[in-house]
Amino acid sequence: MRLADPWWLLLLLPVIGLGILLWQRARRPEGIQFPELAGIDQVIPRKALGPDEILGIITLLGLIAAVVALARPQAGLTTQQISGQGVDIILCLDTSGSMRSVDFKPQNRLGAAKQVARKFIQDRGPDRIGIVIFGGAALTICPLTNDKRALLDLLNQVHIDMTGVDGTAIGMALATSADRLRESRAAGKVILLLTDGRNNQGAIDPITAAKAAAALGIKIHAVGAGSLEGGVMPVQDPLFGTRYVRMNNDLDEPTLRRIAQATKGLYFRAKDVKGMQNIFARINRLEKSEYKIEEFTNYRDLYPAWLGAALVLLLLGSVLRQTVFRRIP
């Protein structure tokens, strides 16, 4: 919303000043001689608004609308044209049972991963991002999209054991992620793999999947999650309720390093929430997009509506003055 000729609004000052003078004049009672003041209220009843005040308000509103019309209010519709080189990214998240460990206090490993991934998504530009989750099987939760709202909604729904198959199928997860990026024409194609375990399910070996991804021009950054002392897993005891059992880490760091090296990516170890945040921030800086965004605004004039309102009000005031509020000398 804008005014094409805002200087016309200066006319509002004399218009409002004239309106105040006419209002004061209309409110001033005419002099009538009475022999005494008793019963004067019955002779001249008090009214909140008399004919002169009503006509004055209508005329003032009409003049204000006319001045606004002269200022030419306009409404604009803004469109964006995006050009440049982007990056297509697949977030490949482990949802196996071990991600339930609460060494990323106060959250478990998956909760911390979702929190950091949410910030990562929000900080990216118009890049396309997708989500693949895996346990004993791999599942595409969201294909590549630049609709961040839908992406974040789907990320919020990710939970432990979501695939319904126990285990950790890293090779299948990488193959599924690479397949989602296979036909991408983006300047960069990246898989961001986060896991706390080792491959023990699936028909595809992680190294084989990584080499296939490299052949497609896909880079894999691998993140191993888990504190050095191991995780603390909540266990439901039928007698004592929830209790926590310490479990040793089963993170296969050598394989994750080989996965990253095979695709010219990097391997990181996330030992706590702060470390995971720093890792995702570094990856965000490494995989930069170069976009040029141009905005175009098309304006349409709104003054005809204001001019019509002014004419209607002024005409209404004139009609009322000659009919309902007409004074007969």
pLDDT in tens, 122-179: 998 888 999 999 999 999 999 999 899 999 999 999 999 999 999 999 999 999 999 9
Please give the single-letter amino acid code of residue 48: A
Strand 290-301 and strand 73-85: the pairing is antiparallel
Q: Give me the pLDDT at residue 260, please.
A: 97
Looking at the whole model, is its pTM more than 0.85?
Answer: no
Q: What is the mean pLDDT of residues 233-255?
A: 77
Which is more confidently placed, 187 or 263? 263
Q: Give me the pLDDT at residue 12, please.
A: 81
Q: Give me the pLDDT at residue 293, please.
A: 59
For 177, the token pair is 């992620």
Q: Give me the pLDDT at residue 152, please.
A: 96
How high does pLDDT run on average in the chain?
84
CB atoms within 10 A of CB 65: 21
Q: Give me the pLDDT at residue 95, please.
A: 96
Nearest Cα residue to 170 out of 100, 96, 267: 96
Nearest Cα residue to 196 out of 113, 261, 137: 113
The 3-state secondary structure of 9-23, one letter per residue: HHHHHHHHHHHHHHH
Asked if pLDDT for residue 268 goes beyond 90, the answer is yes
Q: Give me the pLDDT at residue 118, please.
A: 96
Q: What's the topology of domain 87-288?
A: Rossmann fold (3.40.50)
Partner residues linked to 74 by β-bridges = 2, 301
Residue 5's pLDDT band (cuts 50, 70, 90): confident
- Given phi > 0 = left and psi -120 to 50 = alpha, else beta, which region is 70? alpha
Instruction: List pLDDT tens digits, range 173-211.
Output: 999 999 999 999 888 999 999 999 999 999 999 999 999
Q: Give me the pLDDT at residue 227, please.
A: 86
Give the CA-trace dihedral at 48, 50, 52, 53, to 10 degrees. Answer: 20
Phi and psi angles of residue 295, each rounded to the nearest 5 degrees, phi first: -105, 135
Please give the single-letter amino acid code of residue 39: G
Residue 233's pLDDT band (cuts 50, 70, 90): confident
Report the distance separating Cα 95 and Cα 135, nearest Å. 5
The percentage of residues in the chain with a pLDDT greater than 90, rounded to a whole number, is 45
Instruction: List pLDDT tens digits, range 33-92.
Output: 555 555 555 555 555 566 777 777 888 888 888 888 888 888 877 665 555 567 999 999
Report the distance separating Cα 251 and Cα 228, nearest Å. 10
Q: Which of 9-23, 78-92, 101-115 has the highest mean pLDDT?
A: 101-115
Q: What is the mean pLDDT of residues 82-106?
A: 85
Q: Give me the pLDDT at residue 31, please.
A: 54
Q: Give me the pLDDT at residue 47, please.
A: 54
For 101, the token pair is 């460990």
CB atoms within 10 A of CB 171: 24
- Cα 326 to chain center, whole Å? 58
Instruction: Note whether 124 and 188 are within 8 A (CB).
Output: no
Q: Give me the pLDDT at residue 265, please.
A: 96
Nearest Cα residue to 139 out of 92, 184, 98: 92
Asked which of 15-24, 64-73, 96-105, 267-276 is least confident by mean pLDDT, the reply is 15-24
Q: Give me the pLDDT at residue 217, please.
A: 95
Residue with tokens 């010219």: 264
Domain ranges of the chain: 2-30+39-77+296-322, 87-288
Report the distance separating Cα 130 and Cα 128, nearest Å. 7
Report the distance separating Cα 193 and Cα 206, nearest Å. 11
Asked which of 18-32, 182-196, 291-305 is least confident by mean pLDDT, the reply is 18-32
